[in-house]
Amino acid sequence: PPSEEMDLNLLAAFVFGAALLYVALKALALKNAAPPSQLGGDAKAASGSSRGATLFIDCDDTLYRNDWKVAEMITKNIDDYFTTKLKMPEGKAYELYKKHGTALRGLQQEKVDFDLDDFLDTVHDLPEAKSFIKEDPALKAMIDTIKVDKWVFTASVSEHATRCMKLLGVEGSFAHPIIDVRATKFFTKHHKESYDLAMEIAGQIDAKLCYIVDDSWSNIKAAKECGWNTALVGLKSRDGKDATEWPYADHVIADLKDLPKVWPHLFTSGSAPANGAAPVEAANGAAPVEGGVRKRKSSRGKRRKAE
């Protein structure tokens, strides 16, 4: 009958229209969807996209501070490895460090025959480290308020950094793998290539959106020359120089927990600095109070960095 035929036509039109609407909505959803997850340090997946600011945090003498005790242990292990396993004279490790940025880089550049994995495992074998690195709930609380993408970026190996993070109680606060010396193809943090590779791994394409906090004056200089924002940890260098004189540091802080004072926009709204103190600007070039902020002066301090 005509009425039944009309009903079937209406039903068919309704189904067809619903199908068209579904396809249109799905296409719109795909267009507006966030990009696939880039966790895991997959440089290929991450490259070519910028997801806002990226914060890179050094491990040794930055995540924790203990007057370079762990750094001194690593330095001793490197010296011992050179003299006992490589049969090199005393002072050779430091000579290569000064020339190439790290002792390891020196061995590689000067084509020394050695076991890379054995070297890395041996010099970072630090059972005494647990005596100098303690759990830090205040540090974890601060790190957990960082709202931008954050990575641990170390010139060491990931195994050592992971052990340090476990001792501090902050391992679970970082979603990404550690960017270590292997990830940067053994370029040191004195080299531009290291920062380029860190950006590639993190999926960051704009140097102006890169923020680094590090205790090494040399690393801060290299990062600044790459166009990164820089915060130097430690008010004094290892040889006693005033950190406020280092012109490549945008900010100088006494401790990593002071970071919200100088870069509050990287933290969740309303999160207070872990130490509770307000940021203090250095006036007319005067040295800052602990955790304060300063603008650049002119001298160039240096210090020895283990590895």
For residue range 137-172, what is the model confidence (pLDDT) as tens digits? 999 999 999 999 999 999 999 999 999 999 999 999
3-class secondary structure for the chain?
Answer: CHHHHHHHHHHHHHHHHHHHHHHHHHHHHHHHCCCCCCCCCCHHHHCCCCCCCEEEECCCCCCCCCCCHHHHHHHHHHHHHHHHHCCCCCCHHHHHHHHHCCHHHHHHHCCCCCCHHHHHHHHCCCHHHHHCCCCCHHHHHHHCCECCEEEEECCCCHHHHHHHHHHHCCHHHCCCCCECCCCCCCCCCCCHHHHHHHHHHHCCCCHHHEEEEECCHHHHHHHHHCCCEEEEECCECCCCCEHHHCCCCCEEECCHHHHHHHCHHHECCCCCCCCCCCCCECHHHCCCCCCCECCCCCCCCCCCCCC
Is residue 258 very low, low, confident or very high in pLDDT (cuts 50, 70, 90)? very high
Sign of the torsion angle spanned by Cα atoms 198, 164, 235, 139: positive
Considering only CA atoms, which of 169, 186, 222 is closest in space to residue 56?
A: 222
**Residue 289: count of CB within 10 angstroms of its CB:** 13
Do residues 164 and 129 make contact, with C-beta atoms less than 8 angstroms apart? yes
**Angle, helices 69-80/116-123, rounded to nearest 10 degrees:** 140
Would you say 123 and 81 are in contact if contact means Cβ atoms under 8 Å apart? yes
269 pLDDT higher than 80: no
Give the model's pLDDT for residue 3.
Answer: 55
Stronger pLDDT, 174 or 292, i.e. the higher one? 174
pLDDT, position 7? 58
Average pLDDT score over the chain: 79
pLDDT in tens, 289-300: 444 445 444 433
Range picked from 61-75, 193-207, 260-274, 279-293 for highest mean pLDDT: 193-207
The pLDDT, as a whole number, for residue 69 is 84
User: What is the structure's pLDDT at 4?
Assistant: 54
pLDDT value of position 160: 92
Closest to 54 measured CA to CA, from 202, 175, 222: 202
Dist CA 21 CA 214 (whole Å) = 53
One-letter amino acid at 57 equals I
61 or 10: which carries more pLDDT confidence?
61
pLDDT at residue 18 in the model? 64
Q: Is the pLDDT of residue 274 over 90?
A: no
Express each pLDDT in 209-236 by its tens digit.
999 999 999 999 999 999 999 999 999 8
**Is residue 32 predicted with pLDDT exceeding 50?**
no
Q: In what order do the strands lie in the sheet with 54-57?
A: 149-152, 54-57, 210-214, 229-233, 251-253
